[in-house]
Amino acid sequence: MSVPSFKLKPNANARVLSGHPWVFANEVEAPLPPECDGEVVECRDRAGRLLGTGICNGRSQIVWRRLAREHVALDEAYLGGALERAIGRRAPGPFRRLAWSESDDLPGIVADQYGDTVVVQIQTLAMEKRSALIGDLLDRLLHPAEVIFRNDAQIRRLEGLPIETHTRSGKPWEARWTAIDGIETWLDLMGGQKTGFYLDQRAQHSAVAKYCAGKRVLDAFCNQGSFALHAGREGAARVLGLDSAPEAVDAARRGAERNGIGAEFEAVNVFDWLNDPANKAGPAWDVIILDPPPFAKSKSALEGALRGYKEINLRAMQRLSAGGVLATYTCSHHMQDADLRSVLSSAAADARRRPRVLEFCHQPPDHPVLLSMPESEYLRGYIVRVE
């Protein structure tokens, strides 16, 4: 059976020629017919040479996403093999990312494991058309008690897909307390943030906690309080978590009570709180954690985002005790490491402080970075001592 193909525009400066797995609508010589949407299509250069086999969706600005450089079919054999290889790359454990989209040759599939439950996010039309098969393959490979399809990310709208959540069995999955890295955590896998928990920051919780014993700790943008709770368990003298979402603060308070940790939490605008003269006049903090949501959700928003990152890091450095520790992160893939380092250097100059790097922070190995795809690298951070 012949596979449809398309060519790039003449003189197109397409990143796919350098190995990137995407082709954009303005790089294609002629649009493919609608019947190709959600199916396998070949991409060829101007000379007709095969650049890869991928999935197509003319309704998206990203019209093609590569599966492989060779001829492949998006069938049970391909999906099963790709999922098996992805799972095999990960260290065993009850809480881990199992598949990370293009980084695992599965464009549009994100799968996370929470004990006996697997949560899947499908973000491309082609994978949506094969979602039942994906659920069957995960069941065959891992034998989970349930597979939850968290198809509620707004990015699905760019592919013309509906927003919905369901389980493979059709039965509701009840939220519950689950011990993650020694902290009892309220898991709502059908309605919580992302797939239910920030698995990408697990290693950072313990990395920061080791600096917190006997210290005054401020966890800004705390969400459900994971950093704060780990700091409290490590023996911090005082822990305060801040977040603008009241429901997140409520969850953090429940977590503190459940774990017997004396942490406080407030629902506030973090920028306003850091700028409040009353808070500036109080005792300095020994450890401050800044883990904000992505300020730069698009390339055009980067300039404003850099100002926001500088502002919060400047205020944090001003509030740190001499020799205090700042753990600061960004999850905006548009913000490169050089951008973050420049922001921290500029903030330190304005605060008249001298930060020295204790640890370089990055997304964990189960969120692998595809070197030819900068978008797969998104989580960066530094733990610094501020003199």
- Which of 89, 53, 90 lies closest to 70 in space, CA to CA? 53
Catalytic residue, chosen from 36, 56, 212, 331, is 331
Q: Return the SS3 of 8.
A: strand
SS3 249: helix
What is the distance between the alpha carbons of residues 23 and 183, in angstroms, rounded to a whole number? Answer: 43
Percent of the chain as helix, strand, coil, to the nearest 5: 35, 30, 35
The identity of residue 61, as a single letter, is: Q
For residue 81, give the amino acid letter: G
Rg, the chain, Cα only: 23
Helix (DSSP H) and strand (DSSP E) numbers for the chain: 10, 19
Residue 376 is given by DSSP the state G
Determine whether 331 is an active site residue.
yes
Angle at 125 between CA 98 and CA 189, to 5 degrees: 40
Rounded to whole angstroms, the Cα distance separating 78 from 84 reads 10
Spatial separation of the C-alpha atoms in residues 128 and 354, rounded to whole Å: 50
User: Which residues are catalytically annotated?
Assistant: 331
